Each structure stands twice: as structure tokens, then as C-alpha cells.
Chain A
Amino acid sequence: MANQLALIQNETLKVWKKKRFAVVVLILLVLVPVFVYAQMKIAQNNQDKFVDWRAELRQRIIDNTNALSSDRVPEEWKKWRVALVQQLQYDLDHDVNPNTPNAVTFTNSFLRNAVGMFIPLMVLAIASDLVSSERSTGTIKMLLTRPVRRWRILLSKLITLTLYVSLIIVATAAVSYLVSGLVFGYEGWREPVFVGFRLAGSDIDTADVHAITQGAFMLMLMGLVWFSAMVVAILAFMVSVLVRSTAASLVTMMAAVISGAILSNMASSWKSAKYLFNVNLDLTVYLQGSPPPIDGMTLGFSLAVLGVWAIAALVVSFAVFTKQDILN
């Protein structure tokens, strides 16, 4: 056990010395202000145009209602709009502003938008070369000639990866909260937000709808984002075991993540795409009850699909790593 801890310590420090986490934080520090600025412009524009937030919300509802009547809008998008209209209507009827501009709501919407692409890419920065770099630099031999069993070495790498994924998620939320707070103010933790809308056919069932605080909402979002980030990390981990070159492993995973984002946006009528891991990454849609990318997907379904992919990847990683010959 002490042995295992030493291995983890060793791996964690190696990643730290490679300054990968520093790069992630740096990227966040550059990008988040850009998003904050864009959000500020939108808020200013709305303030000029509307007498209050209720008027803005009403106009959003009416505009989406009108878009529904257009024959040009595909059926899947209509479903999404119907859900959106009913959620906004619920907010309006209960006099709850869903978009008060503050650091907490900004962070929450940033997390929701980041789950499909941004977070996976940040995770790949660390996961992609965890094993393959040892091979390309030749240090794998030193690692494997130690009097430690191979699976223990791989396990220590996996735990290190988990720790860094957690750090990335928390850092993302923290940077976005701290930076956006400069502009929007740091309050908003206790404001209510509605969750628990359910899709029932083409309608929305509001029986289970209840309010939680934005702070609790943020913690839930972070938990769900962490789960999908872990799945991406584990898959990247497997690819990094299988592929010698770090570049190849990075590109493979990036292609997979990006194609998932494209597939989700295509309002897919290809139903079996729902078994792919990359269309299931956005777990946050289920919290509020927005329609999933493909019909029939639920929170349980997505968790199961992601879980199966992750377990399979772990099995492959450990099987290959413990058996494979290290040639040069």
C-alpha cells in the first residue's frame, strides 16, 4: 500500500513538472475573460432593449413560439423549442429570473457549454500522453524494471489521472467564478433555479419540478461534468496505452470528441448513434429536462453507456499493458 502511494506521488509530480496543469489554467485565464466580455455585451444589450427581465423572458417565449409555427424548422428542433418555451414559461409564471447576470449563473452556463468540448480537450492535454510519453522517451523501461508489478504502475497512473481531472473541473469552475465575478458580482449562490422537468412525448411534465439554489445546481453540474470528463480521460488513457505516439493518441481522441459534438447537433435520426460514448457526454441536459440529442436517451441510459465504455477501456488498458512486450 505504501508502495502504491509512492507510485502515485511519483506520477502526480511527474505530470506537475510537465506543467500540463499550468497550461490548462493558463488557457482558462485567457478564454474565460473573452466569454465574460461577450456575456456582458449581451446583458448590456438586453438592458437597453427591455424594460425588465420579465419583458425579455416574455419576448424569448414569443419568439420561440413563433419559430414553432414555421414549417422550415425540423421536428427535433421543434421539440427542443417546445421544451424551452415551457421551461421559460414556468420561470415567468413563478417570477424567477433564470438568467440574473451574476458569477454563479455565469459559471453554471459555462460548465454546461464546456462539457461537450472544452473540458474533454483540457482533460486530453493530460491524459493523452500519460503512457505513450513514457514510451516515446524510453523511460518506460526504467519504470517496468522496478520491482513493482505492472498493473500497479498502471493503476498509479490511473489514480493520478483521476486526481488531475478533478483539479481541472474545480479549476474551471473557480476561474470562471472569480473572473466573471469581477464584472457581474459574486452573489447569486442562494438564488433559485428549477430542475426536474420531464419529457412526456411532445410535452413537458412539470409534476417533479422543484427549485434548488444556484449553488447546489453548480455542485451537481460539476459532479456530472466530472463523470463525463472521467470517461473521456479513461478512453484517452486506453488509447495512450495502445498507441506509441502521443500525437496520434491526442488526434484520435480529439476526433472522437469532436465527432460526438457534430453528431449531437445533427438532430440525429440515426437512432443507434445513442450507443456511442461521445453523444452521451452532455449529462447536464437531464438535470433541467432539455431534450437529449437522440430520442429515448435518459440520465440512466447515458450513465450506463458511458460506464460500459469506461469499463471496457480499463479492461483493454490493463490487459494490454500487463502483457505487451516492450520493444525498444
Chain B
Amino acid sequence: MEIHVRWESEMRRLNKKSSWLWPSLGAVSLGCTVLLLFGLGWALKDAWAPAAGIALPSATPQPAASSGDWADKRELLVTAVGDSLTRGTGDASGQGYVRGTVERLAKGLGKPVKLVNNLGINGLEASNLAIRLDDEGYKGALSQADLLLVTIGGNDLFHVAQNGGSLVDGGDIDAALLQKRLVGLKPRLETVFRKLRALNPNARIVYVGLYSPFYDVPALRESVGAVIDEWNGYARRLADADGGITVVPTYDLFETDVARYLSSDHFHPNADGYARIAERVAQSLL
């Protein structure tokens, strides 16, 4: 009995001390519960019986690069697009030739050079790139750049020539097959150049020519070399027709000491190899 009385008086004390507390606390927490139940119901309705959705603000137009001399511009925008060479695969420091080129350009021009995007995707072929260039998201990055750096084609060539096995030995490259299919691959490059130019009429485009990673494999030196030569020559002719495209040769960089400039996969350049490509590209622009 005594315990009862104590409890009662304790509760009375608690309630009296806070006559305002219970009404406000009760009302607020009840309000919160109702709000959250409403949110839950709305979420379920939206997931199971979706409404039309709100109207979107109209898209802002993609920024376009201005024409005119680089000397007149306050800063230079660069976009790199292409395959694993653009990505920088094989470079332990992750720089690749793109960062190297941007740094050298900034130094040489004495003004800020900004990389908009590095759109390099490992294993990308020219045919996939052509599809990606139609993508709305890609367009903005390409149209606003003053300089486009492009590497493409290597995967096209070596994928069609590969008949299984490891690339490192070079033994699985069928040079005769490569020569035969080369004709069919050329239009892919033409499409890429055409689309890039359509997206950005004012940019200078630099195409990094292909090199042969198999120069030190005697069985392939001549045959692969001839294919690479023809591809680069074809790129050169397209570039000349355009007038704003530069093809930077790189095949000579990987002939004397292959092991020193190629990474351990015997296909991609290593950090030193990329640095030499970057040097070349910068030289062609400065």
C-alpha cells in the first residue's frame, strides 16, 4: 500500500512540474508520426503506381568552343577521348599521356590548360566510340574543348587479328588476317573523325598514331609493321583532308628498347613511354 502511494505522488509531481510538456510533446510527436506515415504511403504509391512526374527544366544548351587563336584565349580546355592509351593503362602513376600533355601545354603556353574530361575506356574500339559520340552526355565534353586528344584503332586491329591465347607472346597475332581485314576497319576511323569534327568545328584534333608493340618479335616485325604503317598513313590522309587534325607519329618511340618503354603486359606503354608520347604531342602543338 505504501508503495502505491509513493508511486502516485511521484507521478503527480512529474506531471505537475511539466503541465505544458505533455500537450506539446504529445502533439508534436503525433504530428511527426502522421507526417511519416504519409511519407511512407506516398513512397509505396510512387513505387507501385507511379504518377506522371514533374516537368523538367529545359536543358541548357551545350557550351561550344569559340573559334579564334589559342593566343587570344584566357584558358584552354582539353578533352581526351579514346581507348586504354587515353586512360593511361600501364602507367603505374596513373598519369598517362593526357595529363603529361596538359602539363606541358600549360608550361609552354604560359596559361591555364584545363582537362574537361578524360573519356578513355579500356578496350574501346573505333566502332564503339562512333556510337558513344552520339551520346548526349559525351557531346558537351567534346563541343566545349579547344583541343581534342584522340587515341583509337589499336583494339580494332588487334582484336580482329587475335585467335585466342595471350598477346604477350605475339604468337597469336595472325598477320595475314590482319592485312585482309584492314580494309574493312578503315571506315571506322573515318566515321570517328567525321563525327568529332561535326561536334566541334573549331577544335584542333590530335590523333596519336599507332605503334607496333611487336617490333621485338621477329616473326611479326615486318607484317604488323606494314599494317600499322598503312593505318597511320590512312589517318594522315584523313587529317590532311580535314586540315585541323594532326597525326602524331609514335611508332619510332617503341623500336629501340621495347622493354624500357612498354609496361609488363607488352602492349601498353609504361610511365616513361607515356611521357615520350606526351612530349611528342606537346611538340606538335607548341
Q: Which residues of A contact B (CB under 8 A)?
A: 8-10, 12-14, 16-17, 50-51, 54-55, 57-59, 61-62, 65-66, 69, 89, 92-96, 139, 141-142, 145-146, 162-164, 166-167, 169-170, 192, 195-196, 208, 210-213, 216, 219-224, 226-227, 286-287, 299-300, 303
Contact = CB atoms under 8 A, between A and B. Distances in A.
Given A13-B21, A95-B59, A166-B33, A66 B87 contact: yes
A220 B42 contact: yes
Given A142-B3, A222-B36, 11 more contacts: A12-B25, A12-B29, A54-B141, A65-B121, A69-B123, A89-B135, A93-B136, A210-B53, A212-B46, A220-B43, A222-B39
A11 to B, nearest CB: 11
Given A9-B22, A9-B26, A93-B136, A192 B56 contact: yes
Contacts of B140: 54, 58
Given A145-B4, A166-B36, A220-B42, A16 B53 contact: no
Contacts of A222: 35-36, 39
B137 A61 contact: yes
A284 to B, nearest CB: 9
Interface stretch (B7-15, B98-106, B227-235): B7-15
A175 to B, nearest CB: 14
B117 A62 contact: yes
B47 A287 contact: yes
B39 A219 contact: yes
Contacts of A94: 56, 59
Nearest to B75: A51
Contact of B60 (A69, A95, A216): A95
A16 B46 contact: no
Given A92-B136, A142-B4, A226 B36 contact: yes
B127 interface: no
B120 interface: yes
Contacts of B137: 54, 57-58, 61, 89, 92-93
8 contacts: A54-B137, A59-B117, A62-B120, A93-B135, A94-B59, A142-B6, A166-B35, A170-B35
Given A145-B4, A224-B43, A58 B141 contact: yes
B43 to A, nearest CB: 4
Given A10-B11, A95-B60, A223 B54 contact: no
Nearest to A190: B54
B136 A299 contact: no
B77 interface: yes
B116 interface: yes
A221 B38 CA distance: 11
A10 B118 CA distance: 63
A62 B121 contact: yes
Nearest to A286: B47
A93 B25 CA distance: 47
